Amino acid sequence: MRIDKAVIRQMKLIFKTGFRTSFGNSVVKDFLLVELTDPEGRTGWGECSAFMRPWYNEETTVGARYVIGEFLLPALLRAEEVESPEKFYDASSWIRRNRMARSAVDCALWDLWSREQGVPEWKALGGVRTEIESGVSLGIEPSPEQLLRKIEKYRAEGYRRVKCKIKPGFDIAYLEAVRREFGDIVLMADANSAYTLKDLDLFRRMDELGLLMIEQPLACDDIVDHAQLQAAIRTPVCLDESIDSTETARRAIELGSCRIINIKVARVGGLTEARRLQALSAVHGVGCWCGGMVDAGVARGHNIAAATLPNYVYPNDIPSSDRYYAEDIVTPSTFIDRNAKIQVPQRPGTGFEPAWDVIERHTVRTWEFTRESVRESAS
């Protein structure tokens, strides 16, 4: 595989409605698209999920653009041959952290590489499913009653697993209301690091609600206190922000910090690391699932491919195309069926193509790189 041209696009999409978590309310999605082109004109696409503000992790849209444009793309364009996405991922591992920036390029390479091979991306990764199950992720609502109406709406659309965002003051009463209203619905809570071990009594009350899991209850970089929490409660702890690599996952599993891992492709550095992480987790009996970053269509396509891997065993946060945004930046759009399933594309690459009219209307700025421009900048 050889890369002759690369383009970074800064994009802006407006949410249909705000999405509130414990760390803030999102109304606009500022993100980056990365396009890689080979000598035959085939293209691969990646999406950078970093936010404009460093409130999910330390990365931002501006910082990711710098890392992609100053380091990752020049390295690709200077290479005479890229043997595989995995080889490039390992060769660029000298870049510390900046995993969302690395993910955008890694995913674009997987898309292009699988198109060149003439196979679907999920098959190139080693996926085993032709359909995946999705759950719905709901933001924090002003009242339990409003949350119940939201759940009612999404259950009518086919979603079976419901994830409720929680934070102090917006937690146990909400979850209890959901359990009373909807009985044995598959229910989980996502705290986005809003609690500490001082809240142990609260988590023991949640034990009585039969939750599928509690996601990232404690600090975003912690695996020690989570081990203490998991030992004290019956409900499985699922780690999200704390797990940024296969090596971190190994440590967390050995400590007993969790029983489930949410593998967000963007958070761990791309499809290469996501594949390695789910394989390691399988060896230790820790189940995984694919989380999302209120993604647009390019990242959603890569998430679908990741969710076909063998140890992605729980419903995923991969919603229909119209969940967050009025317009999809890829075609065809994705929709769940009445059983909350998404059929996995069978075409080469992710199976999706750019919706150019939508992309052009929502592009804020572009940066273009060629083999010639990279040589000139280095001289």
Give the active site residues.
Answer: 165, 264
Residue 297: alpha-carbon gap to chain centroid: 12
Give CA 356 to chain center in angstroms.
23
Cα–Cα distances in angstroms (integers) from residue 183 to residues 112, 165, 176, 211, in the given order = 45, 19, 10, 12
What number of other Cβ atoms are within 10 A of residue 114's Cβ?
24
In sequence order, the β-bridge partners of residue 15 are: 325
Residue 203 three-state SS: helix
CA distances in angstroms from 66 to 73, 102, 235, 319, 351, listed in the order given: 10, 11, 41, 30, 29
Instruction: Check: CB of residue 204 under 8 Å from CB of residue 180.
Output: no
Give the HSE-up count for residue 296: Cα atoms under 13 Å, Cβ half-sphere: 34
Phi and psi, residue 333, nearest 5°? -75, 165
